[in-house]
Structure 1
Amino acid sequence: MAAAVTRLCWAPQCLRSLHMSVGVQKAKTGAEQLWLARQRRDPYVKTAHAQNYRCRSAFKLLEMDKEQKILQPGHHVIDCGAAPGAWSQVLVDKVNSLGKDPAARVGFVLGVDLLHINPLEGAVFLPKCDLTDPATHRKISALLPSGQADVIVSDMAPNASGIKDLDHQRLVSMCLSLLDLSDSVLRPGGSFLCKIWDGGESDLIRDKLRQRFQLLRTVKPKASRMESAEIYLLGKSHRNKRAAN
């Protein structure tokens, strides 16, 4: 898959929400003005500023973890499409990768993205790596303690082409690649969370998840904008036998 297709979502929305330059604030186009107005009204953008999250998307993961109990101290987690690092910020805290809680197990966070990711204490980043490339899967396995993960999470997405069906198919292909990754590194009993834009091939991902996991849920966090077609598919209790060998 070409780099233009697989570019992961270091969303301009996230960057602008945190760093609105004077030039951006003086946006000339109607679309930019509408976008800026929405950002100013968005309570998650304001709270992200207040709590020093790199992007409002942090609240999607926080909400899903609160409801679905995905993360625990000591977990080894792969954050797919990690840029700009908001999900990794949540993960560092939830799995205790900095060891701030001396009574809890210390976890490990590995973030991967095709784009640059600014360093984050408590996380190891693999920037400029294509998650659809088997070579990236090998790098991930080499960096994971014992070569295995307890949880894989993904908020990645391709660059939007404006063609809904094409964008949907591209994201489906990316999710299928992550399922291949789960076969090689996810522990039996582990969890898998991925974003998908709901569409005609969503059931293909659901079927693949049912084959690999004992429990499948579809989640739409409140922090996900109502007009967005994004949903999250959560597989729990991985049946993987290969990773156990």
Structure 2
Amino acid sequence: MAGRAESCHHLVSRYFHMTVRCLKKTGTEHWWLQRHLKDPFVKAAKQQHYRCRSAFKLLEIDDKFHILRPGFSVLDCGAAPGAWSQVAVERVNALGTDPAVPTGFILGIDLLRISPLEGAVFLSEADVADPSTLRTIQGLLPAEKVDVILSDMAPNATGIKELDHQKVISLCLGLLDVSRSILKPKGTMLCKVWDGHESRLLENRLKEQFQDVRSIKPQASRKDSAESYYLARLYKGR
């Protein structure tokens, strides 16, 4: 199971420290940096102290569908650099900031290292598909199961569209198998996919286990990106 190929902050650091001469030599990298600098979500993430622009994808989805509620337990898969966990900490009241509502719990996991975040527990350099990791997750959860599984996981891209699509579908299917052990009845799963012919296979598998399944492309997902998200709600359980 793979986490995000590179964290947003790692990419920013990498490109900002390139020399001008190097940027002139690599047109693709120069284009990436220029797009990144002009991106309104990048600017908003910096202003609002989110670790990555991807926070706004989850914020938009949650504003519309209310999948994160005070008191909920959440597993954030592919959590690095931690932006989705930041949103989840706020929305489920993981810090107990509001004494009038229940206090939630956030557990993030990634193959990459995740910098500490107040209100969240992180398992860095860990594979959610590994049976020993699953046991560790269950031991950390307050009730061994979660209300919500979030996944912004992506494989290390090869540049071959169909192969990359198959890899991300495999990640989602693997997570769906994991959900059998840790997702509460009527729970929610949100997972990232890349466009391709096997998306329907994943959708059908989700519909077998959830009462409500829909595809979403948040505004923060770039228009030229192949990514979208499946939101599966009301887990049927065993």
TM-score (ref. length: structure 1): 0.92
The match for 2:92 is 95
CA RMSD of aligned residues (A): 1.4
SS in 2 for 1:153: strand
Kept after mapping to 2: 8 A contact 1:75/1:149: yes
Selected match of 1:187 from 160, 169, 184: 184
The match for 2:18 is 24
Selected match of 1:8 from 3, 9, 14: 3
Structure 1, residues 14-53: CA drift from partner, whole Å, max 9, x if none? 4334x46652363341111101110111000001111111
1:234 aligns with 2:231: yes
Summarize the Cα distance change of 1:41–1:209 in structure 2 as closer, same or farther, 3 Å threshold: same
SS in 1 for 2:76: strand
Q: Distance in 2 between matches of 1:81 and 1:148?
A: 18
Structure 1, residues 210-238: CA drift from partner, whole Å, max 9, x if none? 01111011100000000111010011111
Kept after mapping to 1: 8 A contact 2:5/2:154: no
Summarize the Cα distance change of 1:172–1:140 in structure 2 as closer, same or farther, 3 Å threshold: same
Question: Aligned runs of 1:200-211 on 2, under 5 Å?
Answer: 200-211=197-208
The match for 1:75 is 72
Size of the alignment, in residue pairs?
A: 235
Paired letter, 1:57: S
Kept after mapping to 1: 8 A contact 2:185/2:236: yes
Q: Distance in 2 between matches of 1:11 and 1:104?
A: 36
The match for 2:114 is 117
Summarize the Cα distance change of 1:204–1:22 in structure 2 as closer, same or farther, 3 Å threshold: closer
The match for 1:215 is 212
SS in 2 for 1:145: coil
The match for 2:160 is 163
Unaligned runs of 5+ in 2: none
Summarize the Cα distance change of 1:25–1:153 in structure 2 as closer, same or farther, 3 Å threshold: farther
Paired letter, 1:223: A
Tell me by how many angstroms 1:130 deviates.
Answer: 1.2
Summarize the Cα distance change of 1:121–1:10 in structure 2 as closer, same or farther, 3 Å threshold: farther
Q: Distance in 1 between matches of 2:114 and 2:63?
A: 26
Q: Distance in 2 between matches of 1:197 and 1:226?
A: 13
The match for 1:3 is none
Kept after mapping to 2: 8 A contact 1:25/1:36: no
1:139 aligns with 2:133: no
The match for 2:195 is 198
Percent identity over paired residues: 54
Tell me by how many angstroms 1:174 deviates.
Answer: 0.8
Kept after mapping to 1: 8 A contact 2:148/2:188: yes
1:154 aligns with 2:147: no
TM-score (ref. length: structure 2): 0.95
Tell me by how many angstroms 1:77 deviates.
Answer: 0.1
Tell me by how many angstroms 1:103 deviates.
Answer: 0.3
